[in-house]
Amino acid sequence: QQQVKQSPQSLIVQKGGISIINCAYENTAFDYFPWYQQFPGKGPALLIAIRPDVSEKKEGRFTISFNKSAKQFSLHIMDSQPGDSATYFCAARGSTPLVFGKGTRLSVIA
Amino acid sequence: GAVVSQHPSWVICKSGTSVKIECRSLDFQATTMFWYRQFPKQSLMLMATSNEGSKATYEQGVEKDKFLINHASLTLSTLTVTSAHPEDSSFYICSARYSRSTDTQYFGPGTRLTVL
């Protein structure tokens, strides 16, 4: 049973463009929503995370937008660079361990 | 940020043998460690959660007698794949959290297991 639905599966963005990845959840007990970046053959690295008491959080080129009523959150990567090409996972947790989305493979082309 | 290491980074073994993977939190004490499995181009699937000094909690469908987890200290957890078979070939990733009240989970670099 997938508790966090992530889309799109893959994404191609031009260098300098904005990459947008969306996630939706159903469990209202979730209260922590991180995004992880994973390069091939490496473990996931925490990018940015948000709690439901705020609607947006920005760290450098990465922004999380959170819509509590819609139970959706998204990652925006501004000024996307070829080095951002990786797989991105959204996740969520409440009292249970982190649950991951299926991942989005991002390719940033010059 | 906090650092989690894994050893070995890759291992090849024969079918029927056992393999041990170590996970260490290098600069913090991890009260909770998690073991994940990831197949190519797929998401991370939680195998088990372990708290220091207590038995691991396994996710549904994960054989606890096949995947032995030991969290003997606040900086070390081990996963032993017993009687490995080719279908156990996967990318195994550990994660650590330094207290139950902390949200952040730090991930190790992963261990690629290939069973021949």
B22 within 8 A of B81, measured Cβ to Cβ:
no
Q: What pLDDT shows up at residue B101?
A: 62
Contacts of B43 in chain A (CB under 8 A): 89, 100-103
Give the percent of chain A with pLDDT over 70.
Answer: 98
Nearest to B104 among A46, A99, A103 (CB): A46
Half-sphere exposure of B81 (CA within 13 A, CB side): 28
Q: What pLDDT shows up at residue B52?
A: 81
C-alpha distances (whole Å) from B21 to each of B46, B66, B70, B79, B93 are: 16, 13, 10, 5, 10
pLDDT above 90 for A19: yes
What whole-number distance in Å separates Cα of residue A77 and Cα of residue A93? 23
Looking at residue B86, the DSSP 8-state letter turns out to be G
pLDDT above 80 for A53: yes
Give the percent of chain A with pLDDT over 90.
Answer: 93
Q: How confident is the model at residue B100 (pLDDT cuts 50, 70, 90)?
A: low
Taking alpha carbons only, the member of A96, A95, A81 closest to residue A37 is A81
Is A43's CB within 8 Å of B108's CB?
yes
Give yes or no for A45 touching B (CB within 8 A). Answer: yes
